[in-house]
Chain A
Amino acid sequence: MLDALNVSRMLIAATETSGGKGGHHFYSFEGLMVYTGLTLAIVIGVLSLARNGITPRYFTNWFTQRLEQLYLFIENLCVGIVGSHGRHYVPLVCSIWLIIFFANLVGLFFPYTPSMDLSFNLALAFIAVGYVQWEGMRANGVGGHFIHFSGPKLGVALIPISIMIFMIEIISEVMKNVSLSVRLYGNIFGGHEATDAMNALGAKMISLGNGQYLGVPFGAFLLPIKLLTCLVQALVFCLLFCVYLSLVTHHDEDHGSDGDHAPAHA
């Protein structure tokens, strides 16, 4: 019991190197590593608990049944968006879902979480977008993948237009990294800041006399919606990953119709 208390105190102290200007804490690299390790330990623990229940006939373990539902959900997502060959991408998408979801869950109980840090999210986005490029090159060839950026075939007279489309597509491809990472970072960090602000609101709610106050943790009322945010952000990351994958691998059968995929190029 005392050990658990000490460990949690160490976890909290690991991130807060210095109270910076404006009341914001600056978090250390070691703290990020500690919390990433904690997240990975939780993920691996849950997966090993689930692995115990795998039997040839049916799954008896509670964890195994729930994880099977998660697997079916992710498989449904991949097959629904990418197409019939989407089952190939289930392992990566499922790992990314697990890591983001449990990293967000850690943020509900601890003052810090890996997904509250832009560097962790940017690394995840690099993995996702880099894998999309790799899959695009595997599906269309290296040349075909880059020609695919220049939009539909417009003819010789409109080559300047094609070059412009190519440059815009390259920019949007780079911005996919930024959009994936900033979305996750903004949602988790913003939720944390909102909880802090609500707690500060109730910090001096009940006066005990002689200058002491009993705080009311209003931030706790935000927990349900933060839990929903955890789930939705993990889902949205995987959803967009699948959409990007479907954009680069979908052109095996119909190469002419590029126009109807435009909304996902933001």
Chain B
Amino acid sequence: MAGIGLGLGIVGVAIALGMIGMAAMQGMARQPEAIGKLQTAMLIAMAFVELVFLLTAFVLAGTFTQIR
């Protein structure tokens, strides 16, 4: 059951990462001179999205196994 939950979490995080990458790519294609700033903002946003999954995988999964 926890495996299914983790899989669902991965789906959401993957969609979110793809959307961030897509938006950054579009911005970079429209304004190549702003690539530096866009990359910084993209990496920050990706870090926060990734953290959601890492917290789920390492903190919540541990809690589930303790409860069960």
Contact of B54 with A264 in the complex, beta carbons under 8 Å: no
* B contacts with A: majority SS: helix
B55 contact from A77, A80, A182, A239, Cβ within 8 A: A182
Which residue of chain A is the closest to B59 with respect to CB atoms? A182
Contact call A183/B43, Cβ cutoff below 8 A: no
Q: Are A236 and B47 within 8 A (Cβ)?
A: yes
Q: How far is the CA of A243 from the CA of B50 in the complex (A)?
A: 17
A183 and B44 form a contact (CB under 8 A): no
- A80 and B44 contacting across the interface, CB-CB below 8 Å: no
Most buried by A among B50, B51, B59: B51
Count of interface residues, chain B, beta-carbon cutoff 8 Å: 15
Within 8 A of A (CB), among B2-19: none
Residue B64 CB within 8 A of the other chain = no
* CB-nearest residue of chain A to B36: A80
| 9 closest A-B pairs by CB | A186-B54, A236-B47, A266-B48, A179-B51, A183-B51, A182-B54, A186-B58, A236-B43, A239-B43
Please state if B58 and A185 are interface contacts (CB–CB under 8 Å).
Answer: yes
* B44–A240 CB distance below 8 A: yes
Contact with B along A75-118 (1 / 0, CB 8 A): 00100110000000000000000000000000000000000000
- On chain B, the residues within 8 Å of A80 by CB distance are 36-37, 40
A239–B48 Cα distance when bound, in Å, is 12
What is the chain B residue whose CB lies nearest that of A266? B48
Please report the C-alpha to C-alpha distance between residue A185 and residue B45 in the assembled complex, in whole angstroms: 18
Q: Which residue of A lies closest to B50 (CB)?
A: A183
B57 beta carbon closer than 8 Å to chain A:
yes
Min Cβ gap B43→A in Å is 6
Report B's interface with A, CB cutoff 8 A.
Answer: 36-37, 40, 43-45, 47-48, 50-51, 54-55, 57-59
CA distance A177 to B24 in the complex (A): 27
Q: Report 9 cross-chain contacts, Cβ distance below 8 Å, ordered by A residue.
A: A77-B40, A178-B55, A182-B51, A185-B58, A186-B57, A236-B44, A236-B47, A239-B47, A263-B44
CA of A262 to CA of B65, assembled, Å: 34
> Do residues B58 and A243 form an inter-chain contact, with CB atoms below 8 A?
no
Query: Once the chains are docked, how many angstroms separate the CA of A183 from the CA of B47?
Result: 8
A240 to B50, CA, bound (A): 14
A84, B60: Cα distance in complex, Å: 41
Q: Please, how many angstroms separate the alpha-carbon atoms of A178 and B51 in the complex?
A: 10
Task: Give the docked Cα–Cα distance between A235 and B46 (Å).
Answer: 12
Instruction: Assess whether A243 is in contact with B44, with CB atoms less than 8 Å apart.
Output: yes
Closest residue on chain B to residue A243 by CB atoms: B44
